[in-house]
Amino acid sequence: MARPFVPPPLTPAKVEPSVRPELTFQNKFTALADFPRLPCPTQPKPTKLLCPPQPKLINLRPTKPPSQEASSSSVQTKASYAMKTPESFAQAVNPELTKTVPTKIIPKEESFEFVASQALPLMALNKEYESIDIGTLIKPCYTDFNYVDTENPLKTRRFYEAILIDTDSIEIEHSRDANNYIQYSRFTIKKILDPFEWFADHLHTPIALTMAHKPQTYNWYDYKAAWMNFIYLRPRHTWFVKYSSSITKTTIPRWFYEWWNLFGGIEKILPQQFLNKFEEFQIKEQITTLPEHIKLCKYFIQRRISYIISWNFSKANIERIQYLCKQIQVKGWVPKQPNIKAQEKTRSSSKKLSKAALKQKLKNAMDNLDDYDEDQIMMMIEDAASTESSSEDNGDMCNPKGLALAYMEPNYE
């Protein structure tokens, strides 16, 4: 009889003293947490996944005690700063130039003033809320004075500002007083990124911010939103717009025209010297058929025409519905509006003079028909017919007899 098979006893697996099971378990999750790695300035640049150039961050906090800040001659106090009319574009961009640049007389044909540009509807108001003041309406809409309209309250205005600085798109200067209060700001447009120039292989790929913030990463859509939101520091705050010399030599991405349509300069604030050459610029660049805001965007950037942006909350009726809005305003050198009534009066007087001269010429021709041939007479009649005069003044312009009879009347003038 065959003996049954008995398997050999199992021997426990040997565990190396240097490797513990709990550490192996942790290392698995550590590896998962490290993959994929977010691009950051400290990592070497991969072949495809590139990090944006990391410029030096602006100092968002004062580096000097308030006493030293107050004694600094480069800092203006809130009392000394007022929206005075600058004498030139350079002074508008940098008010400190008032101390070094000789005073220039502003032409009487121009005035430095705000012009309403766009109203951005935020919320439709029911009828019972139409009479409520704006301060009460905006209280439930924004927290901690963060006036950014976003689905994620952690994406603050400072978050969006940091994105534009990290990508080297703009350079921002905040002028503060002794109490660290931002009085006014300037930003210089240096670069406008196209979606096909993004730093990663996908527009949703997160990029790490250099400054500590929650959220710590951003993508292409955050970058585009940054342009639309970094302006909203507080109502009535002013931003001086400047341009780097390099931006004038690059192609403006088409998506940026959306930003310009909201915050860009308009024709009403073009100084007279630039307004006179705007049409010539359109013909030279062959852009006469483009929408107005696109032509203006190209013109302002290529000629580096500075202006000022501000905003405030307002109410506006849009298609018979009242909305809580953000009213965008731009400020620049507004050419003096012509006196339409005076122009019409001058135009009418010049017409009367031309009519009187034409009547006298025709009367002489009728009195001396032998000195004029038929073609000359018909040419004068055609000239008379081309004017805006009526049959009450000169008779029937198409009938030589009627014309002659009209001039035979004693009171033809």
Would you state the pLDDT for residue 276?
92
Q: Which residue has the higher pLDDT, 350 or 197?
A: 197
Element (H, E) at 357: helix 340-367
Residue that finishes a domain, picked among 335, 362, 385 = 335
Any domain includes 385: yes
Cis bond leading into 215, ω under 30°? yes
Structural domains counted in the chain: 2
Examine residue 15 and state whether it is found in any structural domain, yes or no: no
Tell me the average pLDDT of the chain: 73
Name the pTM for this structure. Answer: 0.59
Place of tokens 């968002």: 60
Is residue 245 domain-shared with residue 297, that is, in the same domain? yes
Q: Which of 296, 312, 335 is where one domain is finished? A: 335
Question: What do you get for the CA distance between the two ends of the chain, in Å?
Answer: 150
Kindly report, residue by residue over 12-21, the tens digit of the pLDDT: 555 555 445 4
Residue type, 256: F
Residues 316 and 354 in one domain: no
Q: Is residue 27 part of a domain?
A: no
Whether 230 maps to a domain, the answer reads: yes
pLDDT above 90 (res 78): no
Count the alpha carbons within 13 Å of 62 in the hemisphere toward its beta carbon.
17
Whole-number Å distance between alpha carbons of 94 and 262 = 24
Token match 């410029």: residue? 55
Query: Residue 363's closest CA among 407, 400, 402, 397?
Result: 407
Q: Please check whether residue 223 lies inside any domain of the structure.
A: yes
336 or 103, which is more confident:
336
Domain of residue 211: give its range.
66-335
* Residue 295 pLDDT > 50: yes
Q: Is 158 exposed, middle or buried (0-12, 13-18, 19+ CB in 10 A)?
A: middle
pLDDT band at 147 (very low <50, low <70, confident <90, very high): very high
Same domain assignment for residues 285 and 382: no
Write the pLDDT tens digit of every residue in 184-239: 999 999 999 999 989 888 999 999 999 899 899 999 999 999 999 999 999 999 99
> Residue 51: pLDDT band by 50, 70, 90 thresholds?
very low
pLDDT reported for residue 296: 96
How far apart, in whole angstroms, are the C-alpha atoms of residue 323 and residue 122? 7
